[in-house]
Amino acid sequence: MVQTTVDRLDSHGESVNHKLDYMIGNREHGQLVQIDRANQPIPIGGTGPGGAAYIADFAMLAALQGKLFGSHWGTVTTPLATPATTAIVARRPQAWLRVPDKRLVVPLNFEIVVESTGITTQGEIAVATSQNDVGDGTSAAGTSGAINLNAADLQQSLVVQRQLATADVALETKLLELKRMSFAVSAVNQMFDWNARTLGLYPVLRGPASFLVYIGGNAVNFYAQAQWIEYPESDLA
């Protein structure tokens, strides 16, 4: 969202509206432009090689530290498929991440691509968190496992990736739905996402915990991708 402002300026010509305070323009010549800061990088200070101080976007800093991880569901040519005809069912996630005890995870993004679906049931997707590790239930190991986005870093994620529950996982504790999306019957090649930066919403999952995606519809063929920051809980104590 872009907004211009001509009033309520401080002594430097900047708006006193603190929600939209990312300023572009010349204070003395021409009109200032404001951009919603919800989509701007969040700067964090750090120390680089040789002890040099720097400021970087917090996700970039996590990547440099080897703390940024990702997973995907479905292979390059083969999507996953939900059961033939079903609405969203409690305790039956179709893609999820299990956060173990003494681990701290900040989910950044979860994308779901519906490649195709049947003609009988409108589809829906729910992205949620749970304050317990829901376990495996009856399910399969996730397609990729957790992969460090810093290819030069050997740190391993302890998060467990799972997919396609066909029997109940453990009862979710304090299940919190973050976003609900729906798609029509016979949907083809539609993308849905939950993005922490876009929403300005950063859930902090202290293990044991879970990050869950539920998908309902008629034989939904889908791909999914997730990225998160992960620390030993002791690092942030």
Residue-level pLDDT at 102: 95
- DSSP for residue 160: E
199-216 pLDDT, tens per residue? 998 999 999 999 999 999
Whole-model pTM above 0.85? no
Beta carbons of 111 and 37 less than 8 angstroms apart: no
Residue-level pLDDT at 34: 43
> pLDDT at residue 101 above 90?
yes
**Can you say how many angstroms the Cα of residue 59 is from the centroid of all Cα atoms in its chain?**
12
**Can you say how many angstroms the Cα of residue 99 is from the centroid of all Cα atoms in its chain?**
14
Domains and CATH numbers, the chain: 68-236 (2.60.120)
pLDDT category of residue 172 using cuts at 50, 70 and 90: very high
The overall average pLDDT reported for the chain is: 83
Beta carbons of 104 and 205 less than 8 angstroms apart: yes
> pLDDT at residue 226 above 90?
yes
In the chain, where does DSSP find H-type helix? 58-64, 196-199
Q: Which of 204, 194, 94 is nearest to 140 (CA)?
A: 94
Listed in sequence order, the residues at least 6 apart from 83 whose beta carbon sits closer than 8 Å to its beta carbon are: 166, 219
Cα–Cα distance measured from residue 195 to residue 212, given in angstroms and rounded to the nearest whole number: 14
Cα–Cα distance measured from residue 198 to residue 1, given in angstroms and rounded to the nearest whole number: 12
